[in-house]
Structure 1
Amino acid sequence: MSDASVRVTSVHDLAPQARNLRAHWLAWGGSSGVHDDLVLYRSGLQHRLLNGVLRLRGKDVQAAAAEAERQLAGVPWRWWVGPDSDAHVSDALLKRGYERTGSMPIMSTRLDRPPVPDLPAGLTIESSTGPEGAAEYVDAYASSFGMTSLQDGVVTAERNLRTDLGVLIRMVGYLDRRPVASSATLISNGVAGLYWVATDPSHRGRGIGTALTVAAMNIAQDHGAQVCTLQASAMGTPVYRRLGFTQVSEIGLFTPPA
């Protein structure tokens, strides 16, 4: 359910931002729905980012954890605990032997007037479409996310994402026709979510990531979104702050016991 007719106007409206996040990752696999009490996804790929639990509400944590561990057996995964989960989930996971391995701020901004940064010399930004486009899109972000050894499988997964959870627009940044950066915009649940913002490590520090972020924001505005949301890495947080994003919540990341 994309709720395409609903337009969220406040960056502090967390529920649709959390639904956008769940919609993005559910597209990678799994039978859960965006509104389920236990929401988990499984791509089957051997990368912790591509399998996990996204929400738990109104259920016994120990029973839910046992179910998640059964469904996600055989792949690396993590449990996301954000504002859409019950408040006691974090403590219950720690008691079960999970380890809190990090956190990510949820950042948002209104799209009244997206910035227009200078485009780095030689950079072109194009939408990623078709089989060849998917390959170049993954090539642009694989090294940043530690997925180089899984690249063929990730390309296949990108080509087969669910399309019933929102409108996904992928962008690739090229230098000398080589894909070096990426970003994606998911229009879903009344907001625009930004994902896969990455720049090849050998080309960082030139404003390329900023340019790809702004390109994604402009796409969001073109699709009528008034609020843009993302989950920031430590490296990306200063960039997003300069572009007008503010932190509105946080997601705790937990690794299951061995």
Structure 2
Amino acid sequence: MRSIHDLEPQLAANRRYWTGWAGVGGADEPDADVPIYRTDIPHSLLNGVLRIRNQSLDQAVETAKQRLAGSVWRWWVGADSDAGTADGLLALGATQFADLPIMAVDVTKLAPFDNPAELKIQPIAGRAEMTEYVDAYAGPLGIEGDLSRVVDREMGFAYPDVTRLAGIVDGRMVGTCTLSLGTDVAALYCIATDPGFRRRGIATALTLDALRIARLTGRRIATLQSSSEGALVYRRIGFETVGRYQRFAFPA
């Protein structure tokens, strides 16, 4: 039986989700030794390298720099990368950009929670709803500029097994949560709440709704990467920190 501490399936789910942003044929396979993905959206989550294994780091860095030139990109280092990758990247001129906790929960053991009475949760479909969805998470996630490019990427996502849940209050979309079911581990992304509607349980409700969907599909484990602020919310739900991602940037 899979445990929340089985890290490789969670990292595989993460690789699949981010390569999906590049669209069909726009990125390496998620299980490649050096999976590179590029969207040309100027945000550090949306372009990068997801791991390295069984490869020369020097050569992989040169290849990444060539393929990602002109974009804002980062290099992910988790337990699926070769030992010594972080130190090797630093030696090659990278700087550490972030250190993210990888959190997981057993979805069969969810804590009880009553959704805010005013909140309606619904899946989104179609470009008009997608445009509103992207607009709702762009600000909290720090995505700026022409959001139509983000909408295009969401609409052209490489994999069909992604559900996007919107939190609606008084007819306004105030929260988002994306659920990826591309592997046997559920993975959550784009969990965001409008600043004016925080501390009302909206992010908790959206996260739990996604986890219930995952449970209905027969999955047992769900994973996400968290900010320090978000980790407090997820711990209350039952998530535990099971690993970490370091993310590195090279000079432009």
Per the normalisation by structure 2, the TM-score is 0.95
- 1:10 counterpart residue number: 3
Given candidates 220, 230, 233, the residue that maps to 1:236 is 230
- 2:58 counterpart residue number: 62
Return the letter of the residue paired with 2:178.
A
Q: What CA distance in whole angstroms lies between the structure 2 residues aligned with 1:85 and 1:248?
A: 16
- 2:218 counterpart residue number: 224
- 1:4 counterpart residue number: none
- 2:141 counterpart residue number: 145
- 1:35 counterpart residue number: 31
- 1:201-220 matches, within 5 Å, as 201-220=195-214
Conserved 8 A contact 1:9-1:110? no
- 1:195 counterpart residue number: 189
- 2:96 counterpart residue number: 100
Deviation at 1:148, TM superposition (A): 4.2
Return the letter of the residue paired with 2:84.
H
Conserved 8 A contact 1:143-1:201? no
Tell me the alpha carbon deviations over residues 89-145 of structure 1, each in whole angstroms, 9 at most, x when there is no partner.
Answer: 101100111000221011111111323322223111100112222112212211111
After TM superposition, where is structure 1 displaced by more than 4 Å over at least 4 residues in a row? none
Given candidates 170, 177, 180, the residue that maps to 2:171 is 177
List gaps (5 residues or longer) in structure 2.
none
Per the normalisation by structure 1, the TM-score is 0.93
| Structure 1 position 248 matched with structure 2 position 242 | yes
- 2:18 counterpart residue number: 25
Q: What CA distance in whole angstroms lies between the structure 2 residues aligned with 1:139 and 1:180?
A: 10
Q: What CA distance in whole angstroms lies between the structure 2 residues aligned with 1:78 and 1:240?
A: 25
Q: Secondary structure at the match of 1:237?
A: helix
Given candidates 91, 108, 115, the residue that maps to 1:119 is 115
Q: What CA distance in whole angstroms lies between the structure 2 residues aligned with 1:116 and 1:79?
A: 37
List gaps (5 residues or longer) in structure 1.
1-7
Conserved 8 A contact 1:136-1:172? no
Q: What CA distance in whole angstroms lies between the structure 2 residues aligned with 1:202 and 1:40?
A: 36
Return the letter of the residue paired with 1:196.
C
Deviation at 1:149, TM superposition (A): 2.4
Identity rate, percent: 41
**RMSD value, Cα:** 1.3
Q: What CA distance in whole angstroms lies between the structure 1 residues aligned with 2:135 and 2:251?
A: 32
